[in-house]
Structure 1
Amino acid sequence: MSKGSERATPGYLVWRLSTKWRVAVDRAVAPLGLTHAQYSLVASLYGMQRGGERPSQRRLADHTGLEPLYVSKLARALESAGLIERTRDPRDPRAVQLALTEQGRDVTRRAVAVVQGLLEQLLEPLGGLDSPRTRTFTSELTALLDVPLDVTDDHPQGET
């Protein structure tokens, strides 16, 4: 365990791991012209397209857990870079559908390979990507992600 992590709270450790991962992915995909957030969007879009879906921005926001307004901003930047195309949904003129361009598919395939290598490094202490410990870890992370968090203001002024 890292020095200073022995008495850390689970919330702190989740935050540190997510920060470590975001920074690593940012650095790894930067040579491909992507940020971590953009990678999350194009990799998700790539997987959805491979499954036969041409998602709306809203559907992609729901899938990634990113705010719809942020997905819209990322999509515009990725469109300007020639990696995705945004078109009006013929069934709902208010909705915008997203699709990777040929260049976007190429960049995304390369980025996925780079991030897969990072994931293998990260999971090595658990026995690798296909180990029983990694499967358990993945199951536990999924259980935590499935817990709804109700953010309410239950604390009186000045109390935390």
Structure 2
Amino acid sequence: MTTSDPACEALKLDNQLCFALYSTSLQMTKVYKPLLQNLGLTYPQYIAMLVLWEGDDITVGEISARMLTDPGSLTPLLKRLEAEGLITRTRSQADERVVQLRLTDKGRDLRRQAEAIPACILASSGLTLEGIQHLQSELVALRDQLQAP
């Protein structure tokens, strides 16, 4: 095969959608890192807090579904948020298998500090708000298509 062979072109790293998504995700996380350090959060903790700021008093199963992750993998993250005093975790009286998550006053107060982050990300992206919204819409459509049975 020569390098001009279409099969070779299809296998070039820079022609891979997966690599564009992966490398962009790495760079995005690097942009978030110093912003989140100011809040004392890691990126996965920030995602969990975003879910809780949208709707407090939810179950581990609900936050897991919203974050598109396995509930078991969230337990260490949620324990750290609890140790930091940002959330409480309590077993349901009705079903002890269900763990309820609630924001503490400290967790709610952290939201105010986080309000500046989206504008910082927008500025770092070099895109307009409309451009970000379009890109996000396209990525969500791709994610949904990949999740389809």
TM tier relative to shorter chain: 0.7 to 0.9
Where structure 2 has 5 or more consecutive residues not aligned to the other structure, the ranges are 1-13
Normalising to structure 2: TM-score of the pair?
A: 0.81
Runs (4+) off by over 4 Å? none
Name the amino acid aligned to 1:79: E
Do structure 1's residue 67 and structure 2's residue 70 form an aligned pair? Answer: yes
Aligned pairs, how many?
Answer: 136
Cα RMSD after superposing both structures: 2.0
Q: 1:153 aligns to what?
A: none
**Greater mean alpha carbon deviation, residues 23-32 or residues 95-104:** 23-32
Normalising to structure 1: TM-score of the pair?
A: 0.76
Where structure 1 has 5 or more consecutive residues not aligned to the other structure, the ranges are 1-6, 151-160
How far off is 1:88 after superposition? 1.2
How far off is 1:123 after superposition? 4.3
Q: Distance in 2 between matches of 1:59 and 1:104?
A: 18
**Greater mean alpha carbon deviation, residues 32-41 or residues 7-16:** 7-16
Higher helix share: 2
SS of alignment partner, residue 97 of structure 1: strand
Name the amino acid aligned to 1:31: N
Q: Distance in 2 between matches of 1:8 and 1:78?
A: 39
- Within the candidate set 118, 143, 146, 2:144 is matched to 146
**Identical amino acids, percent of aligned pairs:** 27
SS of alignment partner, residue 21 of structure 1: helix
**Greater mean alpha carbon deviation, residues 73-82 or residues 136-145:** 136-145
